[in-house]
């Protein structure tokens, strides 16, 4: 039996990193007053069709869509923002507060060719700041993305940023771009050729090298931006400079989803081969309206957790502190009193339950990551003490049970992390 292609089990040695990420981002986002939200993994297919945009890779070829027993078209969510927008509307979240700062963490599904850093079931951490068109919100979310990546020890990454303007500006730009690209029609990859008619801006996102080469001299969207769009974009750039967050303006950056306007950004690294984007985000001022909600200009991003883990340099290793060896099982109820004391001191322990002899259990203790070993044998039980062996240097001490708690509390710093 195998997992489905593009999906994988996360085993205990890896899950500690996941727990660490969840715990750390929870603490961090709490500081910024972002609140966690969990939406269903299943949604009406229509939600994604209406938000992500036709002629995007996600809609054209990546969705896991099926019909349920009631003949409804259901889709496993390919991304988080559409669901958040839906939840915001269906729960009337705008009634309680004008601004909603939200974050989510969970699995997403896209039918793609699996490679390193690219799976069919993958996880995203995302934040969304709903309810304001202020560029300060854009800066806040970019600053948080940077903070998250920094916190996990990522070093060589660049934040690429662009403004894709408003609908009017994009319409104007579309014509300019088409004028240019039509000259090279025959040399574009087949997908891009189709998009000349259906969605020309998507061509800018093409990964095809020949198409990318043609795009080098294409007109830039910035040439179509009016003063308001430019002001928004420049404010963000100025603040990022003030914050010492390095960024690169990429005039060809458009995102893989159609609901964005104004700010679009991606965080890229050169360490992951083709899967070089670790975070993607932007402003989406019209999405919530488009789905039937009130006017709610918003901005957010999503980070791919599998890619984050491939790059994180400060992965913590879960440590074990105490290894407990018991000799025999008769009259050994006292071990529960000892465990009670360890629990109260909040120290991690592992009880050897193999029933092996002392020598073998000691060997196992030495192979474990534990720092100290408790030996509870016949002598110990009879005389109410335990033998503590420091596994690093094999030093041994006898400690009276009545003194054990005090001993652990005073020595804890030596054998826990």
Give the residues lining the site for ligand ATP (CB under 6 A): 79, 110, 112, 117-119, 122, 124, 256, 275, 277-280, 302, 304, 306-307
Say if CB 29 and CB 127 are below 8 A apart: yes
Q: Tell which residue, 81, 132, 136, 114, has the closest CA to residue 256.
A: 81
**Least distance in angstroms from the C-beta of 126 to ligand ATP:** 8
Q: Which is nearer to ligand ATP, 117 or 297 (CB)?
A: 117
CB half-sphere exposure, 239, CA atoms < 13 A? 16
Report the C-alpha gap between 7 and 4 in whole angstroms: 6
The distance of closest approach from Cβ of residue 322 to ligand ATP in the complex, given in angstroms and rounded to an integer, is: 38
Contact partners, residue 30, CB within 8 Å, separation at least 6: none
- Three-state DSSP class for residue 267: strand
Q: How far apart are CA 128 and CA 145, in angstroms?
A: 11
Between the CA of residue 182 and those of 54, 73, 186, 201, 215, what are the distances in Å?
A: 22, 37, 9, 13, 12
Closest separation in Å from C-beta 248 to ligand ATP: 16
Closest separation in Å from C-beta 201 to ligand ATP? 14
Nearer of residues 29 and 386 to ligand ATP, judged by Cβ:
29
* Tokens describing residue 96: 């309680």
Of 18 and 180, which has the nearer Cβ to ligand ATP? 18
Question: In the bound complex, what is the minimum distance in angstroms from residue 80's beta carbon to ligand ATP?
Answer: 9
State both tokens at 171: 């319409």
Closest approach of Cβ 63 to ligand ATP, in Å? Answer: 12
CB-nearer residue toward ligand ATP: 113 or 331: 113
Q: Is 229 helix (H, G, I), strand (E, B) or coil?
A: helix
CB of 307 to ligand ATP, least distance (A): 4
Distance of alpha carbon 348 from alpha carbon 368, whole angstroms? 13
Distance CA 188, CA 197 (A): 13
* CA 18/CA 40 separation, integer angstroms: 20
* Residue with Cβ nearer ligand ATP (53 or 347): 53
User: Residue 108 and residue 78: Cα distance in Å, rounded?
Assistant: 5
Q: Which residues are annotated as a binding site?
A: 79-81, 110, 124, 128, 255, 259-260
Closest-by-Cβ residue to ligand ATP is 304
Instruction: Choose between 261 and 321: whose C-beta lies nearer to ligand ATP.
Output: 261
- Among residues 314, 312, 213, the alpha carbon closest in space to that of 271 is found at 312
By beta-carbon proximity to ligand ATP, the closer residue of 104 and 415 is 104
- The three-class DSSP label of residue 121 is strand
Q: Minimum distance from CB of 191 to ligand ATP (Å)?
A: 14
The DSSP-derived string for 61-105 is II-EEEE-TTS-EEEE-S-SHHHHHHHHHHTTHHHH-S-EEEEEE
Nearer to ligand ATP, 219 or 256 (CB): 256
Separation between Cα atoms, residue 384 and residue 402, nearest integer Å: 8
Structure tokens at 311: 């790059």
C-alpha–C-alpha distance, residues 357 and 202, integer Å: 68
Q: How far is CA 330 from the centre of its chain?
A: 50
Question: At closest approach, how far in Å is the CB of 100 from ligand ATP?
Answer: 21
The binding site for L-histidine comprises 79-81, 110, 124, 128, 255, 259-260
Q: Which is nearer to ligand ATP, 119 or 352 (CB)?
A: 119
């Amino acid at each position: 039996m195998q997992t489905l292609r593009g999906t994988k089990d996360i085993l205990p040695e890896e899950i500690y990193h996941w727990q660490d990420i969840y715990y750390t981002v929870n603490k961090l986002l709490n500081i910024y007053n972002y609140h966690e939200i969990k939406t269903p993994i299943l949604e009406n297919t229509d939600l994604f069709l209406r938000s992500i945009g036709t002629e995007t890779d996600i809609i054209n070829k990546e969705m896991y869509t099926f019909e349920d027993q009631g003949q409804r078209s259901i889709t496993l969510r390919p991304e988080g923002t559409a669901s958040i927008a839906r939840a915001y509307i269906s729960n009337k979240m705008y009634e309680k507060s004008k601004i909603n700062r939200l974050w989510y963490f969970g699995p997403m599904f896209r039918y793609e060719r699996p490679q390193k850093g690219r799976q069919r079931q993958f996880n995203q951490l995302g934040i969304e700041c709903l309810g304001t068109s202020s560029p300060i919100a854009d800066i806040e979310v970019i600053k948080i993305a940077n903070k998250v990546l920094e916190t996990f020890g990522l070093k060589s990454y660049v934040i690429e940023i662009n403004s894709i303007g408003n609908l009017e500006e994009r319409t104007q730009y579309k014509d300019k771009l088409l004028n240019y690209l039509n000259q090279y029609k025959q040399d574009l990859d087949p997908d891009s050729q189709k998009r000349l008619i259906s969605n020309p801006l998507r061509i800018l996102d093409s990964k095809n090298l020949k198409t990318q080469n043609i795009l080098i001299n294409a007109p830039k969207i910035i040439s179509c931006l009016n003063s308001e769009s430019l002001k928004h974009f420049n404010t963000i750039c100025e603040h990022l400079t003030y914050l010492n967050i390095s960024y690169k303006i990429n005039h060809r950056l458009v995102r893989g989803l159609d609901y964005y306007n104004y700010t679009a950004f991606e965080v890229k690294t050169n360490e992951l081969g083709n899967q070089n984007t670790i975070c993607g985000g932007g402003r989406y001022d019209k999405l919530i309206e488009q789905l039937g909600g009130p006017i709610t200009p918003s901005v957010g991003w999503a980070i791919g957790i599998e890619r984050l883990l491939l790059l994180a340099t400060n992965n913590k290793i879960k440590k074990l502190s105490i290894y407990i060896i018991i000799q025999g099982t008769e009259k050994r109820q006292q071990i529960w009193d000892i465990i009670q004391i360890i629990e109260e001191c909040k120290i991690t322990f592992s009880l050897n339950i193999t029933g092996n002899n002392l020598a073998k259990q000691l060997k196992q203790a030495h192979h474990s990551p534990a720092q100290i070993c408790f030996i509870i044998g016949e002598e110990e039980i009879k005389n109410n003490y335990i033998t503590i062996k420091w596994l690093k240097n094999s030093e041994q001490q006898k400690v009276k049970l009545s003194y054990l708690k005090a001993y652990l509390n005073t020595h804890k710093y030596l054998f826990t992390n």
